[in-house]
Chain A
Amino acid sequence: MENCSMKRGFFFLRPCDHPARRQCTLCGKPFCDEHLRIRPGKNEPACLDCLGKELQKPSRGSDYEDDLFEPGWSYGYRRSFYSGSHYRPWYIGQANADTSFDGHEVRVFDSESADDFDDDPNAEADGFDS
């Protein structure tokens, strides 16, 4: 079975490495259980990206406040964040020439940098004032 199609992350995007279980009934791509939910009111699975996009629609009106604590919220919100704050997410993982995220330009780490992410023996020395 192929891997989940979700890009994890908010500031740092990376592919989800879990095996896909089912297809999203909205975008048709395969996703893992963590990134699928049953659509409210319908007995069909949808991915958090598609659910998140629905939550961001202006027609949500007063329900919008309740969406803020739904698991899919950050998946929908990250798109408006990228365009609203001109943020270009970092991309961690195998990148090809046209790596982008839904039309949002990404910044790619080279594989050498990615190796340095978790090689910190004194991770506690985080450099903050106490």
Chain B
Amino acid sequence: MKLFSALRKYFALTSAQRQFISKGIWACNQPPSTIISFLRPLAAFDSDLDKGRDQLMKIGCGGLILSFVVAIMIGNEVIPESSAGIAMFLVLTLGVGSFIARWLLGSMDMHNNLRLFVVPLLNALQQDMAPGKNMIFKVDLRGKTCKSKMISQKHDNPGWFRYPKLSTYIFKDYWFSCVAPLVDGSTLKITIDDSVRQRKKTYSSSSGKTKFKTKIKIKSKITASLSMKTKIYNLDKTGPLNNLCDRLKVKDKNQRKAVGMTVCQISTSEDSVLEPAVCLNLVGKILMNAAPAKAKGA
């Protein structure tokens, strides 16, 4: 049972890790190995918790089906009256208890972006970080529609008992950023900003019933920038990168050239997960485009 494995992993976490689960936000300036050591047990816990909650869902459904079966058996006097009460109590406890446990454990569930995006991405970036250098890291998994992220709201209300009523909420979720000095002297910066539009509609159906509908649209802006030394790289020809992203930004500064590529992704669920390959591909394209500043043998 994955639930017990999840609980074992939870009790093995440090208080700082448990605090991250409850707060959902964490920032630091530490060596990448320290950051990954902090996040990896959380990823393993979250994976087991997700599987455990799925199992509880199945057990809950099984318990409810079983209680119908038991009720029929009591009706047909297959189960004697003396044990009917206890049998019904047991199957109902199993069914309802599983749903309650599943719901309670929901508060410990972290967004799957942590284990399916953040940890594997850091795992890959760590390989190329300059030895002994820190990574500046921030992750915010408090949710895309938490109050503090709301930037505007609009309500169209035609009045009492008049429909449709429409509320639109706009949120900005800057949920991931990291700055990492790399082994070639470049500095890599990755940021992800989500613009979220949530629409809540109350309307009257053709049968006269009042219905509610919530729709969400998330536009994720994923940016990878590399500030590279012009002494090492020839970055004169960045034009072709324009066709490989939604926005290209090139900036000269202090014997360096910063090349930033942005791609946008749209999703319609708060639970959708980003793939680490999206960021790694952007970094790969910038590096593929760079030529050595000193031609070989020159």
Q: Could you list which residues of chain A lie within 8 angstroms of chain B, going by C-beta atoms? A: 8-12, 14, 65-66, 68-69, 71, 73-74, 77-78, 81, 84-88, 90, 92, 107-110, 112-113, 116-120, 122-123, 125-129
In the complex, A73 Cα to B120 Cα: how many Å? 8
Which of B11-19, B121-129, B138-146, B204-212 interfaces with chain A? B121-129
For residue B293, which residue of chain A has the nearest CB? Answer: A113
Determine the chain B residues whose CB is within 8 A of the CB of A112 once the complex forms: 294
Q: Could you list which residues of chain B lie within 8 angstroms of chain A, going by C-beta atoms? A: 39-40, 43-44, 47, 115-116, 119-120, 123-128, 130, 179, 181-185, 187, 189, 225, 227, 229, 231-232, 251-254, 256-258, 276-277, 280-281, 283-285, 287-288, 292-294, 296
Contact of A125 among B116, B231, B254, B287 (CB under 8 A): B254
Determine the chain A residues whose CB is within 8 A of the CB of B283 once the complex forms: 11
A-B contact list, 20 entries, CB within 8 Å: A11-B283, A65-B115, A69-B40, A71-B123, A74-B124, A77-B120, A78-B124, A85-B284, A108-B296, A113-B232, A113-B294, A117-B183, A117-B184, A117-B232, A122-B254, A125-B253, A126-B187, A127-B252, A127-B256, A128-B179
Q: Count the A-B residue pairs with Cβ separation under 8 angstroms: how many?
A: 128
Asked if B227 and A81 make an inter-chain contact with CB atoms under 8 angstroms apart, the answer reads no
For residue A77, which residue of chain B has the nearest CB? Answer: B124
Asked if A81 and B128 make an inter-chain contact with CB atoms under 8 angstroms apart, the answer reads no
For residue B189, which residue of chain A has the nearest CB? Answer: A128
Q: Is the interface of A mostly helix, strand, loop or mixed?
A: loop
Asked if A118 and B287 make an inter-chain contact with CB atoms under 8 angstroms apart, the answer reads no
When A65-B116, A68-B116 are in contact, do A85 and B47 touch as well, CB less than 8 Å? Answer: no
For residue A112, which residue of chain B has the nearest CB? Answer: B294
Most buried by A among B251, B284, B292: B284
Determine the chain A residues whose CB is within 8 A of the CB of B294 once the complex forms: 110, 112-113
Asked if A10 and B124 make an inter-chain contact with CB atoms under 8 angstroms apart, the answer reads yes
Not counting A88-B288, A127-B257, a sample of 17 additional A-B residue pairs whose C-beta atoms are within 8 angstroms of each other reads A10-B125, A12-B128, A68-B43, A74-B124, A81-B277, A109-B184, A110-B292, A110-B296, A113-B292, A117-B130, A117-B229, A120-B229, A123-B185, A125-B253, A126-B179, A127-B256, A128-B258
When A9-B128, A65-B47 are in contact, do A128 and B225 touch as well, CB less than 8 Å? Answer: yes
Determine the chain A residues whose CB is within 8 A of the CB of B40 once the complex forms: 69
Determine the chain A residues whose CB is within 8 A of the CB of B184 once the complex forms: 12, 90, 92, 109, 117
For residue A107, which residue of chain B has the nearest CB? Answer: B292
The 3 A-B pairs of least Cβ separation, nearest first, read: A127-B227, A127-B258, A127-B253
When A12-B183, A113-B232, A117-B185 are in contact, do A69 and B253 touch as well, CB less than 8 Å? Answer: no
Asked if B232 and A128 make an inter-chain contact with CB atoms under 8 angstroms apart, the answer reads no
B39 to chain A, nearest CB (A): 8
Asked if B292 and A69 make an inter-chain contact with CB atoms under 8 angstroms apart, the answer reads no
Determine the chain A residues whose CB is within 8 A of the CB of B285 once the complex forms: 85
B189 to chain A, nearest CB (A): 5
Determine the chain B residues whose CB is within 8 A of the CB of A78 once the complex forms: 124, 127
For residue B259, which residue of chain A has the nearest CB? Answer: A127
B238 to chain A, nearest CB (A): 14
For residue B257, which residue of chain A has the nearest CB? Answer: A127
Contact of A126 among B44, B231, B258 (CB under 8 A): B258
Contact of A69 among B123, B183, B251 (CB under 8 A): B123
B43 to chain A, nearest CB (A): 4
For residue B183, which residue of chain A has the nearest CB? Answer: A12
Asked if B120 and A69 make an inter-chain contact with CB atoms under 8 angstroms apart, the answer reads yes
Determine the chain A residues whose CB is within 8 A of the CB of B232 once the complex forms: 109, 113, 116-117
A119 to chain B, nearest CB (A): 8
When A12-B184, A117-B185, A123-B181 are in contact, do A87 and B124 touch as well, CB less than 8 Å? Answer: no
Asked if B231 and A73 make an inter-chain contact with CB atoms under 8 angstroms apart, the answer reads no
Determine the chain A residues whose CB is within 8 A of the CB of B127 once the complex forms: 8-10, 74, 78
Asked if B256 and A68 make an inter-chain contact with CB atoms under 8 angstroms apart, the answer reads no
For residue B252, which residue of chain A has the nearest CB? Answer: A127
